Amino acid sequence: MSRNTQSMRETSSSRSISTSINTQLSDSINATQLLNKEAVIPFAGLTPVDKTTPPESLSERSTFHTDSSRTLKDVLTLLPDAAHGELYAENRFVAGDGTPDIEKIRSQSTLDIDALESEGINIDNRSDRHRGQLDTVSGYTDIRDPRREALAALGFDVEYRWQIASDRYSIIQPSTTLMRAISTLQMRDYTDVYGAISLRQWGGSGDIYIFFPSIEVDLDAVLNSPDSVEGLAEVAEEAMTGEPASGKIADRDPTEYDPNALPNTADQTVHLGLCANYSHSGTSVFRVTDTALIPDEGAMFYSNLVENRRRHDGSPDDDAHERDNDRVPISEWWDKTLDSLENAQSRLPELVARARKTLIDFSDAQYTVDGFYTYLGVPEKYAEQAATTAQRIGYTPTVISLWGLYVGLSSSLTADYGGAFGSQSHKRYYDKLSQILTNPADTLEMINQSAELDVAEDPNSIPNAELTHVETLADVASLPEIASEADISETEAVEITETVSTNISDYL
């Protein structure tokens, strides 16, 4: 190989750069946003043709509120054009001119020079051989973004490479994938979307949140339907005890706890949505899950009712390859995902109704409203913010439903989170939030046990049998802080009337 050829390899490596839709930024995006390590950028509408505005009920302080004309297609141009790049290892025994550094080899390599010479190899005779300082690393590839790589070349403090991956790692471009989603949404007349992209590691990982005002759940209508959950709960209680229902709350002034007689009781409309999560930093999957937002409270949450995922291997962009391997091609995810999201409209009210009918009277609890969250594992800062919201929307400052507690923490994590939005730590707190809605029994057990251990002089001396355990509906009803036994959903009530021995774990 000539010196000129080797020099060209070192200075302008043979990386093949694949391009997607992000060859240039949208006119509504500032080029300096490529320099941001972290950014949350809201949008409204699918494309400049489908411009819309966020719902009027969405607070201006919401993460997802925008006054600009940015659309989903506009913000997608900020996502990276991830590309495979060749890797090189520097040989430290080669001098700057590309020839072997004989003196360094003799003094630092621990190579047995005498043994080589005894075999007729004279290393001095090889001193003028040009071989270059860089060696190609086979079997691995560099995942990088050419635009941010160019900014780094200009001297900006920007990272542009995210991992050294196996050469079997297949890039899934989030921008290209979501452009397919835009086409599907247009065909299904979902053009009034809004949301945001959250970028981390200079675009190396991120989340794209898309909310659909057209796929909404009217919680007020659900909770005030003739077939109310509370009525079915009374039937279930009678079946369990043989006595008419007589929850604690029935002995109090009903107007004091009537959701319709009090302001801000969290009976709002919920907009369902999707969250696409990607990472070029070693995460093994590209994932799309359901999410939801209460515009009035600016509170986002996950109900874990919809999920699609694809590993970064094989040929994820080859539809025929995907079908041959019994996988739904990513290009065909969106119709089925939207169908699943629409079906979630019927499941979410069940979860919310159960949470709304589970009332906690903190005057009878062994923990405070703040403590509810801190025992759940939420940092004190967010626990205090969540408690303030929960007390505002509670029936009283001391009688709050699980739904009110849920909305309080959701609002804090969405509007007041101080870290990187969508980061792993942020999502861990959202996981804790999800437990309130999907596993209330486990949540109440953990919080009570944490409170009991917290006040004990020697927590290690308390036998497990003496801690609070919540395994049946009777256990829930017997907790001193539960203000009403009408705390089960329509589905659960039917199940309990059929068999009074059903465990909570059977249907949570």
HEC readout, 157-173: CCCCEEEEEECCCCCCC
Tens-digit pLDDT profile for residues 348-388: 777 777 787 788 999 889 999 999 999 999 999 999 999 99
Q: Is the pLDDT of residue 506 over 60?
A: no
Q: Is the pLDDT of residue 33 over 70?
A: yes
Question: For residue 505, what pLDDT is reported?
Answer: 30
In this predicted structure, which of 85-99, 211-225, 415-429, 457-471 has the lowest mean pLDDT? 211-225
| Backbone CA torsion sign across 472, 477, 479, 484 | positive
Q: Is the pLDDT of residue 471 over 50?
A: yes
Q: Say if residue 98 is exposed, middle or buried (CB neighbours under 10 Å; 0-12, 13-18, 19+).
A: middle
* CB 132 within 8 Å of CB 94: yes
pTM assigned to the model: 0.70
The segment with the largest mean pLDDT, out of 194-198, 201-205, 217-221, is: 194-198
Binning pLDDT at 50, 70 and 90, where does residue 283 land?
A: low
What is the rounded distance in angstroms from the CA atom of residue 318 to the CA atom of residue 329? 8
Q: Is the pLDDT of residue 495 over 80?
A: no
Q: Say if residue 45 is exposed, middle or buried (CB neighbours under 10 Å; 0-12, 13-18, 19+).
A: buried
Binning pLDDT at 50, 70 and 90, where does residue 473 land?
A: low
Q: Is the pLDDT of residue 93 over 80?
A: yes
Tens-digit pLDDT profile for residues 159-195: 887 777 766 777 777 888 888 889 899 999 999 999 9
Binning pLDDT at 50, 70 and 90, where does residue 63 land?
A: confident
Tens-digit pLDDT profile for residues 322-355: 788 888 777 788 888 898 888 877 777 777 777 8
* CB 441 within 8 Å of CB 502: no
Q: Where are the domains of the chain?
A: 3-14+84-166, 31-82+169-215+270-342, 218-268+346-506
* CB 393 within 8 Å of CB 263: no
Question: For residue 254, what pLDDT is reported?
Answer: 36
What is the rounded distance in angstroms from the CA atom of residue 98 to the CA atom of residue 89? 14
**Backbone dihedral angles phi then psi of residue 164, each to the nearest 5 degrees:** -105, 110
Dmax over CA atoms of the chain, in Å, equals 103
